Structure 1
Amino acid sequence: MKQLSGNSSRRRLGLKLASLAVALLGASALGQKVVSIGFSAPLSGGAAFYGKDVQSGIEMAINEMNKAGGITVKGEKVTFKLVSLDDRYLPNETATNVRRLTSQGIDFIFVPHAGGILTVQPLAVRDPEFLLVAYSSEPAILEAKNAMTFMLPPRYDNYLQPFVSTQMKAFGKKLGMIGTTSAYGKQWGEAIMGEWKKQGGTVGTNNGVDYNTTVDYSSAVTKALADKPDVLFIGGPSQPTALVVKAAREQGFKGGFIVMDQAKFEQMDTIVPRSYLDGSVGVMPTKEFPGTQVFVNQYQRAYKKIPTSEAGLNYMGMNVLAKAMELAGTTEDPKAVRAQLNAAAKALPLGKTVYKLLGVTAGGHVDAEFIIASVKDGKYTKLRVTKVYK
């Protein structure tokens, strides 16, 4: 065990001893150590499907590792347990959940929404420190330069230029806005409006709505279409985003959609006809990425649904985290574990990577392949990205 001193260290030691007592009760007769992984996400409300998709990826990785007998850290066998709390997509509840999880001695916590992540980043570097595994493409997460953050998805500013240029050329220069009003959605909306204007377009009234609570999107769509846009910016969780598409098409909209990266085509086309998505740009479905078929098949057998990047990236993230614990020789020092993330990513077996994985940057960001696409006649065409932000 690492050397501890001072009031702060005594507090952490107390948490560790309490956590150890709980772990010992659940450990096998062979004396395996059980490490709890925290998770705070929307598990109810309009974003529940999104939260559960993220949860399933982490859970799948944990179940596979545990079934194989766990990992070995300094000669000790370690298995994992996922401790999930519902924050209803509310950042203040994320903070409450994180405090609850760290009070139980949990040192590694996944959070999959920008508002919650940005709220708890300052907590990650206080006593007790924890490693925040951030599933959101919000660039501000990296710009915070937080020493205890591990961010999984590509930054969304990689998508702005190709999304705008593709849709402006295909449909015209007038943009309508019906994005979600979460903190993440607002930032995405501001960014896309800025890029649209930069490329010479005009933007109509912002008719954003809360995708987590809204049931009927027809009114917001009617208001947006009154500006006669050529393209609509939409997005939030996949299910409500599909309902926005449905309302727009049924009100006669023939233009294109810029789909925020939180919404996934492979889920949307289970709710609306695929033809409704023609003329859209967004993130390429996971099943269309080269080399993902094994993961897709395993996931579908386990969860009876199509995996999205929520599942894929968090599955990969949990495997990188576990490998970093092995390399660091500890499950109790989140700072030491973070220092091994890049080496862990490079050492991860091909079967655990899902997407092409290059490493983890010094800023704690996964460097992995990402593909964006346009949809036409139900088929996906890869879009070229001229500049990549890491």
Structure 2
Amino acid sequence: MSALFQNYARRPVHLVQGKGTIVTDDTGKEYLDFTSGIAVLSLGHAHPAIVEAIQQQSEKLWHTSNLFESPEQEKLAATLVEDTHLAHVFFCNSGAEANEAAIKMARKHTGKHVIITFEKSFHGRTFGAMSATGQDKIRQGFGPLLETFRTVPFNDIPALDAVIDDEVAAIMLEVIQGEGGVNQVTPAFAQAIADICAQKDILLIIDEVQTGITRTGTRYAYEQTVLKPDIVTLAKGLGGGFPIGAMLGTGELYDTFSPGTHGTTFGGNPLAVAVAQTVLDNVFQTEFINSVNEKSEYFLGKLKEALPTHKIVGSGLLLGIACEEDVSALVTKAEQAGLLLVSAGPNVIRLLPPLTVTTEEIDQAVDILSSILI
């Protein structure tokens, strides 16, 4: 019997090494990693710049309490909000923690308790984030949830209108629902949300844990819409493999989190900040962003050519292949053929290569995908 709790359906592959998009298991077999640790490895495995950042910082300072000033945190925060309408940042350790902070911020700032979320959303597995998540499979077995979340169908304007009243503090959504099926917000629904928030003085929280940090072809996915969030949450790709999360907010929220209202022991520690700054110094460059969009266009073209009967969804290098059947067996077949994938709901294959993936690696992945899907 394992000494580990069995809360993961682990695959029988023991990965021991990675470089770029390629990972190797303990038998020496190589795989194309199109999971990126589920949208985490922005620069791929063992990127030289990240290795150097960790080595250099590890020789200086690993950890210090947030009771002390941190110019490094200040620099990282400034990079995250540069050229946006956002102004301030709170650092934590994960996406779930960032969403917990966002929920607390919205409730404290407005003095209201109701937050609107959407079916098939995923915001995390801590109690508040789980209550916000619009999937029963995430919630089952844990007793009564927080009572002040109202979950409605995604992209359904009448359903959203029906739950708006004076008790609503915020609307919380993913611009692209990653875990829920690679579902994109429609322009009409985005406009409806923007109008409601403006007319009713409701805060807008956008969960960019999976979609942010250039994953979808812009720094943040909301930049591709009319939406102007009051709060943005980040994690995954921000650390390139090192645990870090962040909540970004507008200047109007500055006084809401006063000393003692919220905190974290490890959030924004020197090692995490050094790595995240290195990630942003690469992925926020215009040339890098352009390369992501070029590779996305190339990938989409190859997929549509190879799989003409399948619907291809998503943006940037967060793409999905919609299938009529359950995709779990297809994910296994791909793994056996040397391609690591992850699903998005029961019927969508999610494609999340490192942002540094090459066109040659895309070609190899498409060849494997066509062999198992046709």
Q: Give TM-score scaled by structure 1 length.
A: 0.32
Structure showing the higher helix proportion among its residues:
1
**Structure number, greater radius of gyration:** 1
Q: Give TM-score scaled by structure 2 length.
A: 0.33
